[in-house]
Structure 1
Amino acid sequence: MRLRPATKKFAMSKIDEYIHAATRDNTRQSYQSAVRHFEVNWGGFLPATADSIARYLADHAETLAINTLRQRLAALAQWHIDQGFPDPTKAPVVRKVFRGIQSLHPAQEKRAKPLQIDQLGQVVQWLDAAITEKQACGDRAGELRHTRNKALLLLGFWRGFRGDELANLQVEHVEVMQGEGMTCYFPQTKGDRTYQGTTFKAPALSCLCPVEAYTTWVEKAHLNSGSVFRAIDRWGHVSDAGMHTDSLVPLLRTILSDAGIDSPDLYSGHSLRRGFANWASSNGWDLKTLMEYVGWKNVQSAMRYVEASDPFAKHRIEQNLSILTS
């Protein structure tokens, strides 16, 4: 049966909608930025040749990290596939140039500094004092801002959430069981390749409680649906839209700086995740339990976040030395 033009147009719009939904917003935005860098900043032409992509890599070999170059290649490859052109990034010359860059410009992976549990307590203590101060002077904007920040910090730490998960969390997908804990549902997460949705649970704690902090925030901000974490203007008006992922790192560093944490620029959106992973590991959580709790699918991902409690093996070696000298 042939589709009438209107029916065909409707079918194509639905296809485009589903194709759009198949890619995470963060991935789509980063790919668009990468293609724009190649085409606008560098002056490349699309569709590209393998030689032009090899020159692009060579021109940025000393200024961009290996992972950034890898992401740029993935974006260019996806652009060509989407437009129906052959993928030039798979050409031998591109592969050889990329391997050569890896060989001549090895870079140690930069990892976010983990936020330790005592630092978390210090920051929350400062936030509580700031909330009380803003309440006393009638500064609703300041009170809301510090209340939001406390909820964001505690939920991010105890759940090991990434920045995009905090930014995408919706009020209607959170269920609170007073005195027990809360569940946070995400229709799609980074590791959810089958789009089945993922539910995370956070406990109600006797101190530094993420459930109490979340409940206080949504009640003060009068949130019933939509994004949990939002911007607040100077008059105390809460935005209808959620905070952008890119704004979370500057916000975290500002919170840490205001609370007196040293070198706040060393912390990023992964600092809460790494902080929780290190706390759990040092308190006897086995790797399997930690992976299930945080949502890691493979050991390599988990080990990137966990630091050994005795990283230089000092205590183990000293223990053996004491036997020799006794």
Structure 2
Amino acid sequence: MRDVLRGIRAEHPQPVKRAEALQLQALEACITGLQGQATSPVAAECLRACRDQALILLGFWRAFRSDDLCQLRVEHITVQPGASLEIFLASGKTDRDHQGRTVVVPALKRLCPVTAYQAWLAASGLKQGPVFRAIDRWGHLGAEGLNANSVSRLLRMAFARNGLDGEGYSGHSLRRGFATWANRNEWGAKALMDYVGWQDVQSAMRYIDTTAPFGDWRR
């Protein structure tokens, strides 16, 4: 079957469909809107804004996959206020030994994932269990974690609630957005691969938008 599919791809090559990378300017516009909604007296609106801020900023700055975000658990995250989050990730896509791994998310001067996570814990009152959950119209939290397939919809809705166009985004937009940002900020390939957890260069290049250095010749 693999040989047949490989033959079909060779006979009918198609460009790989990729999620649109979330750019920093668009990220900042969305988060600014969510920060305003987080002060709403309506419980559901406030909680949804706090949750979405934490989900989007963690997903972007740690280049998480949707399933990584949905598997996060409160008891597996250690907060160092003003410094970092230390997160244990359960077995993932590339973890063949099923040992899990621990990653660190740094605190930042702006668009800070640590501050957003702390705000979500304070608003939700969560002490254990899944970090990211469904929220009903009355502001009640679900008992189970979000489904990975819902991350794309939540991201687009977060943009739509703030009058922004997010139709081209999916859960992978967070991962691609960070990779593109890191590449433009001169991260080396090895540093980027180590941080994100890619095992080979080809995997990394699928997520990076490169710009050839034409300098002053570019229109």
Give the shorter-chain TM-score range: over 0.9
Residue in 1 that maps onto 2:140: 237
Matching residue's letter, 1:231: A
Matching residue's letter, 2:107: A
Show structure 1 runs of 5+ residues with no match: 1-88, 320-326
Query: What do the CA deviations read for 1:20-55 (whole angstroms, capped 9, x no partner)?
Result: xxxxxxxxxxxxxxxxxxxxxxxxxxxxxxxxxxxx
Residue in 1 that maps onto 2:100: 197
Residue in 1 that maps onto 2:203: 301
Please point out which of 142, 151, 157 is paired with 1:248.
151
Please point out which of 69, 94, 98 is paired with 2:5.
98
Q: Structure 1 residues 98 and 297 mapped into 2: Cα distance closer, same or farther (>3 Å)?
A: closer
Query: What do the CA deviations read for 1:186-238 (whole angstroms, capped 9, x no partner)?
Result: 12111111122111110111111100100110121111111000001111111
Please point out which of 126, 130, 133 is paired with 2:33.
126
Residue in 1 that maps onto 2:88: 185
Q: Distance in 1 between matches of 2:83 and 2:123?
A: 21
Please point out which of 315, 320, 326 is paired with 2:215.
315
SS in 2 for 1:200: strand
Q: Distance in 2 between matches of 1:140 and 1:258?
A: 16
Residue in 2 that maps onto 1:268: 170
Are positions 1:158 and 2:61 aligned together? yes
What RMSD, in angstroms, separates the aligned Cα atoms of the two structures? Answer: 1.6
Residue in 1 that maps onto 2:120: 217
Conserved? CA contact 2:72–2:131, under 8 Å = yes
Larger radius of gyration: 1
Please point out which of 1, 17, 20 is paired with 1:113.
20
SS in 1 for 2:99: coil
| Identity in percent | 46
Q: Structure 1 residues 150 and 191 mapped into 2: Cα distance closer, same or farther (>3 Å)?
A: same
Measure how far apart 1:260 and its partner are.
3.4
More helix by share: 1
Q: Distance in 2 between matches of 1:289 and 1:254?
A: 33
Q: Distance in 1 between matches of 2:176 and 2:192?
A: 12
Q: Structure 1 residues 143 and 110 mapped into 2: Cα distance closer, same or farther (>3 Å)?
A: same
Task: Provide the aligned length of Structure 1 versus Structure 2.
Answer: 218
Measure how far apart 1:259 and its partner are.
2.6
Please, what TM-score do these two structures have when normalized by structure 2? 0.94
Residue in 1 that maps onto 2:50: 147
Please, what TM-score do these two structures have when normalized by structure 1? 0.64
Residue in 2 that maps onto 1:285: 187
SS in 2 for 1:201: strand
Q: Distance in 2 between matches of 1:100 and 1:148?
A: 45
Show structure 2 runs of 5+ residues with no match: none
Measure how far apart 1:100 and its partner are.
4.2
